[in-house]
Amino acid sequence: MASTHTSDEPTRRDFLMLTTGAMGAVGAAAALWPFIDQMNPDASTRALASVEVDVGAIEPGQAITVPWRGKPVFIRNRTPEEIEAAKQVPVAELRDPVARNDNGAADAVASDENRAAPGKENFLILVGVCTHLGCIPLGQQGDFGGWFCPCHGSHYDTSGRIRKGPAPENLLVPVYTFVSDTRLRIG
């Protein structure tokens, strides 16, 4: 016996099919959620995504090292003489002419102005990993008064730019902001 129902009105069967489909989708999502959620980084990793540092106690000429994302970050309060020496270096003489500052344009030139924060030029913030083989350079050493990597002899100046040795690039300037005059957020 063929159905004679030709109305466009929904039937009970339509309602049951729609409800069953919706409940199946909700059930599938509920079953998949633990698998999706476990791919998120854990709380300790999220805590390392950014770090705040009080830089008010760092005297001119001093530097500190803080951990960020498993890497050392050098924070140096440069003296006016160190800043002036870095500004006097012509970009054409640099081995790596790119600023490598995650706060600016990717193709910015490696002038001292493009490697420090405007208004806070005395503070230089660098990821402390040699760009040659990933060693950790020693601060306030080397031929240019910046950093020296004793593993292979790379010398960086007071702006973190490679000047001598096998390292191919300048030290990276990570993303950072000054949240106050004396507080710095990295990341």
Per-residue model confidence as pLDDT tens digits over 50-109: 888 888 888 999 999 998 888 899 999 999 999 999 999 999 889 999 988 888 888 889
Residue 171 in tokens = 């030290």
Confidence of residue 2 (pLDDT cuts 50, 70, 90): low
Split into its structural domains, the chain has a count of: 2
**CATH of residue 68:** 2.102.10.10
Task: Provide the 10 A C-beta neighbour count for residue 159.
Answer: 31
Residue pair 130/154 in contact (Cβ under 8 Å)? The answer is: yes
Among 5, 132, 152, 155, which one carries the catalytic annotation?
152
What is the pLDDT at residue 45?
A: 64
Amino acid at site 69: R
* 69 and 16 share one domain: no
* 107 and 22 share one domain: no
* 175 and 119 share one domain: yes
Instruction: Assess whether 152 carries a catalytic annotation.
Output: yes
* 130 and 156 share one domain: yes
Q: How far apart are CA 71 and CA 50, in angstroms?
A: 12
pTM for the full predicted model: 0.72
Q: Residue 69: which region, alpha, beta or left (left: phi > 0; alpha: psi -120 to 50)?
A: left
Residue pair 103/176 in contact (Cβ under 8 Å)? The answer is: yes
* 31 and 57 share one domain: no
Beta bridge partners of 101: 173
The conformation of residue 183, written as its DSSP 8-state character, comes to E
Helices (H), the chain: 12-37, 43-47, 80-87
- For the segment 128-138, the average pLDDT, to the nearest whole number, is 85
